[in-house]
């Protein structure tokens, strides 16, 4: 396979970006994955998205590229503040390149990362339902969406609006109700207009994620579930290093390709000495809702076999069912909406099992 280089990407993009709309910013090549920033004037609005897609397609056409992500970044030098629209106090004082000196969620007993090598395997769905399951178990729980480019927790948890700050200038996480139990949620999605194509450049993303840990008033929690960005690149690695993770849960579909990505995730956590609690197989099988017939759409059992081979626990199988997607879209995770559903049982069991292995539970906060 040919080696992907920045130069090849630049060459491929020479004719693609209309200079009236933007110019090429940073390019990051991570093996067969390429991230490219296009610096634009956000005022140009709707014309920018087709250009972003064209750039992405042009990069994906470069031999050796498996995945490309093009992002539009604002041309301005100072980052956009995390401001509360329409009055109120600005939340957090703005995303800045300067990393906050506050400690990382100091009163949180256990931070659990939910990770996947690849996007689209249901990582956010698992993170949302796992957090809801911990809340249902009566644990003081938070859910932190660290997937800056693909923030999905505001929609999955049915929350909107800009968070406010408290008197200490910390961002107050909105709370959602999980069958009578509170769940605190924070996501960069709260600060980005829905559907807005303009996001931030690399270093700003890094500091934004840090801000979600340090400048949010998480308070005293038993568990903070973190929906990590997909992949096993620098962003994930650095997060695994600066956040004191109790451990990680890896989500995979049963397909071989997703499993090899899951294995990469596992190796990454090993490298950073973060314990891996185990692998969850999502979209494991499908039970026809009218006739009960079971179908293994993506194959089945691959993750269980991989867990055995990699010597980590297998945590459970989550079926591919319309209700999981529908509940996610409706802003109420299935664990919150329908506790009696067999899929909710799977999540409840995983949460209970994790709670049992979390070390030193007695350490009082
Ligand atoms: N077990 C499942 N059954 C049905 N739909 C699912 C399941 N898991 C995830 N989905 C759907 O698949 C899509 C991708 O899931 P998501 O959790 O956003 O993945 P990721 O965070 O890994 O990109 C979403 O529309 C979600 O509702
Ligand atoms: Mg996601």
The residue whose CA has the least distance to atom 9 of ligand 1 is 122
- Does one domain contain both 55 and 115? no
Please report the pLDDT score of residue 227 as a whole number: 96
Q: How far is the CA of 332 from the centre of ligand 1 (A)?
A: 14
In the predicted structure, residue 212 carries a pLDDT above the cut 70? yes
Strand bridging mode 175-178 / 276-282: unpaired
Give the three-class secondary structure for 304: helix
> In terms of domains, do 170 and 317 share one?
yes
63 and 186 in a single domain? The answer is: no
Q: pLDDT value at position 90?
A: 38
Average the pLDDT over 134-162 and give the result.
93
Residue whose CA is at the smallest distance from ligand 1 atom 8: 122
Same domain as 138, residue 70: no
CA–CA gap between residue 282 and residue 290 (Å, rounded): 21
For ligand 1, mutation pick of 119, 122, 331 (most atoms within 8 Å of CB): 122
DSSP H or E run through 177: strand 175-178
Please tell me which residue, 3 or 41, carries the higher pLDDT value: 3
Pocket of ligand 1 (CB under 6 A): 116, 119-125, 152, 230, 282-283, 318, 320-321, 324-325, 328
- Domain membership of residue 43 (yes or no) is yes
**By residue range, what is the domain housing residue 114?**
108-357
Cα 256-230-216 angle, rounded to 5 deg: 150
Domain membership of residue 207 (yes or no) is yes
Query: How far is ligand 2, taken at its centre, from the CA of residue 158, in Å?
Result: 15
Number of domains in the chain: 2
Looking from the CA of residue 323, the nearest atom of ligand 1 is 4
Per-residue pLDDT at 208 exceeds 60: yes
C-alpha–C-alpha distance, residues 95 and 212, integer Å: 10
Closest listed residue to residue 107, CA positions, set 241, 275, 244: 244
User: The domain that contains 31 carries what CATH number?
Assistant: 3.30.300.130
Q: Model confidence at 262, in pLDDT bands (50, 70, 90)?
A: confident
Distance 328 CA to ligand 1 centre (A): 8
Residue 33 in domain: yes
pLDDT at 188: 86
Q: Which of 281, 271, 283 is nearest to 313 (CA)?
A: 281
Q: Over the stretch 320-362, which tens digit does the pLDDT of each residue have?
A: 899 999 999 999 999 999 999 999 999 999 999 999 998 654 4
Residue whose pair of structure tokens reads 């949620």 in the numeric block = 185
Please count the other Cβ atoms lying within 10 Å of the Cβ belonging to residue 129.
29
Quote the CA–CA distance of 339 and 349 in Å, as a whole number. Answer: 12
Question: What's the pTM?
Answer: 0.76
Q: Both 61 and 151 in a single domain?
A: no
What's the pLDDT at 337? Answer: 96
Average pLDDT over the chain, rounded to an integer:
84
């Amino acid at each position: 396979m040919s080696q992907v280089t920045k130069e090849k990407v630049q060459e491929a993009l020479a004719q693609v970006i209309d200079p009236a709309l933007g110019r090429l910013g940073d390019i990051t090549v991570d093996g067969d994955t390429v991230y490219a920033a296009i610096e634009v004037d956000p005022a140009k609005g709707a014309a920018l998205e087709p250009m972003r897609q064209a750039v992405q397609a042009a990069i994906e056409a470069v031999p050796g590229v498996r995945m490309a992500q093009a992002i539009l970044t604002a041309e301005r030098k100072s980052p956009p503040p995390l401001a509360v629209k329409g009055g109120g106090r600005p939340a957090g004082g703005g995303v800045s390149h300067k990393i906050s000196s506050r400690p990382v969620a100091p009163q949180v007993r256990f931070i659990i990362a939910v990770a996947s090598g690849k996007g689209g395997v249901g990582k956010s769905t698992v993170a949302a339902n796992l957090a809801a399951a911990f809340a249902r178990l009566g644990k003081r729980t938070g859910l932190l969406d660290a997937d800056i480019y693909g923030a999905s927790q505001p929609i999955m948890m049915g929350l909107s609006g800009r968070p406010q700050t408290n008197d200490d200038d910390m961002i107050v996480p909105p709370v959602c109700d999980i069958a009578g139990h509170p769940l605190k949620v924070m996501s960069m999605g709260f600060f980005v207009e829905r559907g807005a194509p303009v996001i931030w450049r690399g270093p700003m993303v890094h500091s934004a994620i840090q801000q979600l840990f340090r400048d949010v008033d998480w308070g005293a929690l038993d568990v903070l579930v973190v929906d990590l960005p997909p992949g096993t690149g620098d962003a994930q690695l650095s997060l695994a290093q600066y956040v004191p993770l109790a451990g990680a849960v890896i989500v995979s579909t049963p397909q071989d390709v997703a499993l090899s990505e899951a294995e990469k995730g596992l190796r990454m956590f090993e490298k950073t000495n973060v314990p891996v609690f185990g692998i969850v197989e999502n979209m494991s099988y499908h039970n026809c809702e009218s006739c009960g017939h079971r179908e293994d759409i993506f194959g089945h059992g691959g993750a269980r076999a991989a867990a055995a081979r990699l010597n980590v626990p297998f945590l459970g199988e989550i079926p591919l069912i319309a209700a999981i997607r529908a509940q996610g879209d409706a802003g109420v995770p299935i664990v919150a909406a329908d506790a009696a559903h067999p899929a909710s049982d799977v999540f409840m069991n995983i949460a209970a099992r994790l709670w049992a292995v979390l070390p030193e539970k007695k350490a009082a906060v």
